[in-house]
Chain A
Amino acid sequence: MQARLFGPGLPAAGQACEWQTDSGRIQWAGGETRLPSTGGALRSAGFDLAGLELSWADDAGRWALQVLAAADATTLRATPPAGWEEAFAQLAGTTRRHRKGRALGWSALALFLAAPLLLLAGFFAFSDGIAGWIAQRVPQAQEEALGEASFRAMQASLKLRDEGEAARAVREIGSRLTQGSAYRYRFHVVEDKAINAFAMPGGIVVVHSGLINATRTPEELAGVLAHEVQHIELRHSLKGLIKQAGLSAVWALATGDVGGALAGEAAQRMMSLSFSRDAEREADNAGFEALLRAGIDPAGMPAFFDTLAKQAGSAPELLSTHPASEARRDALAGRLSSVTNRRFEPLPYRPWPPAP
């Protein structure tokens, strides 16, 4: 078989030679030698380690015989030359161990690389629980300060209409709904045609005049207020904030992308959407109970969603992150039919809606 011999008196880059594996004779143009049958050192050779090197020493110096062709090396492994059987058996053992070690190394590396992704996936899966857990531990004073700060930031762009019949109705219904709450509630009316209302952490509820005009009875307004109040009681906005901040942090940690890439933003938005859908349902149900407790007819709630559903096209703002009005109306109507005592005292403010 074709091999390359290195040793004393041979070119430094090695000498191509012909090796007769059965007799051990190694011949080249201008000389020959013999593979010692007493054995020697054996190792994998070649850059890709597919070949074999047999080396030994004699009086002249150190010799090395290399077979780099993978096919020849395989033949050699199957039938080791006389006297070298032990060395070949040993090499096969270490190769097996190395292969195992290499597999372990690659798995460790893969795990290391996948760890941030696993963290991200874990955070996605448990984000509601984690955010809720943290939100429970934020003191109420902090929450109020946060709400106050965000309200002040918005105030410049809001046209407050806190005098007048409508604002008085909102305040009075609101205080009925929040009796016994730990939060100090403030209700504001803002002049804006968009049908919208929103709650800030710590007890600030803002109602657009457009929403008041869209309601047909004060009970419908009470339904909306009950819903918004429950967002505060259940700390939804705080949880949302914590989740957004946490997601950005985890995303930056996992990808090294501090600015938040498109994918991150999209994922976040998606998360906040699904979060608020769950939260809306929760607030609807809790709001319904609050109406019952306050002795206000809860029929106003599904009735208002009915109004919304009928003009869905013109009120995209309220609907964007909210479940479809029809679905909510139907769910609430279902709850309403299970209420046995349906005698409620109607709210005073008539005619409705009052002039702003």
Chain B
Amino acid sequence: MAMDVVDYEIFGNEMQYVEVELDPGEAAIGEAGAMMLMEDGIQMDTIFGDGSAQQGGLFGKLLGAGKRLLTGESLFTTIFHNEGRNKSRVAFAAPYPGKIVPVDLTTVGGTLICQKDSFLCAARGVSLGIAFNRKLGTGLFGGEGFIMQKLEGDGMAFVHAGGTLAVRDLAPGEVLRVDTGCVVAFQPSVDFDIQYVGKLKSALFSGEGLFFATLRGPGRVWLQSLPLSRLANRIVMAAPAAGGQSRGEGSLLGGLLDGDNE
């Protein structure tokens, strides 16, 4: 499969974007809505499916689109070609505070399993598929559902992690227990399962939810410290419209003098 080799640079600290340098004729695919800027010479094109060479014919394209529907993504992928005669750059921005994780798929064996909405962009030729976990528990109780996204190919892929990124290398047999929402990506060599917390008291009152994800080595796992859902929860809870208060902002009269709260 023809895979485009891309150079990249990541900017920013907590709200990042990645600039991908495309040689003439090279291309990158991006998640719909992630594009931030593109230089002269870059042409944007929307294609049905994911643009990998694997799917020939209308049926293959429909199948690819169906898979994307299942993982909750849009049917179309945007592909960015460099049609000029010079190197040009296109940038993709992360949708919420966090870190962009560059993964060279060759170093992880050609496949990466990642959370459904974490994909940001990749070199053309990387195929976006779905991976089903056949364990019943994972399907019913995994925060991310039993369908995850599978990135296949041998180029660069960029996924996005909320908050701070943690990369852990698990030795054969080593087990790491993780909040189900904190898993961003892992190598397919890692065994992914969902485990009940075990104690009723913890399940009800610890606030950690009823289930852990257990990741069993060998292989590399990428974790995020702040899943978007958690951040969104706090924001909604603090919103004045939902009865939140602007406490802790140093206002003497608890927000009375705050012009914003009129």
Give A contacts to B, CB under 8 Å.
4, 6-7, 11-14, 16, 43, 45-49, 51, 53, 55, 61-64, 66, 68, 102, 105-106, 109
Contact = CB atoms under 8 A, between A and B. Distances in A.
A48 B133 contact: yes
Contacts of B109: 4, 13-14, 16, 68
Interface string B137-163: 000100000001010000000000000
Instruction: Classify the secondary structure of B's interface with A.
Output: mixed
B215 to A, nearest CB: 11
Contacts of A102: 134, 136
B28 interface: no
Contact of B131 (A7, A48, A53): A48
A106 B140 CA distance: 11
Interface string B110-146: 0101000000000000000001111110001000000
B218 A6 contact: yes
Given A14-B218, A64-B217, A102-B136, 19 more contacts: A4-B109, A6-B217, A6-B219, A12-B219, A13-B220, A14-B108, A14-B109, A45-B188, A47-B131, A47-B132, A47-B148, A47-B188, A49-B133, A55-B173, A64-B172, A64-B218, A66-B189, A66-B218, A68-B189
Contacts of A47: 113, 131-133, 148, 150, 188, 192
Contact of A43 (B108, B113, B191, B217): B191
Interface string B170-201: 11110000000000000111011000000000
A49 B113 CA distance: 13
B93 to A, nearest CB: 27
B107 A13 contact: yes
A13 B169 contact: yes
B172 A63 contact: yes
Nearest to B220: A13
Contacts of A14: 108-109, 187, 189, 218-219
Contacts of A49: 133-135
Nearest to B107: A13
Nearest to B108: A13
Contact of B191 (A11, A16, A45, A63): A45
A171 to B, nearest CB: 64
Nearest to A51: B188
Given A6-B217, A13-B220, A48 B173 contact: no
Given A12-B220, A13-B108, A62 B172 contact: yes
Nearest to A11: B107
Contacts of B113: 47
Contacts of A53: 189
A48 B217 CA distance: 16
B136 A106 contact: yes
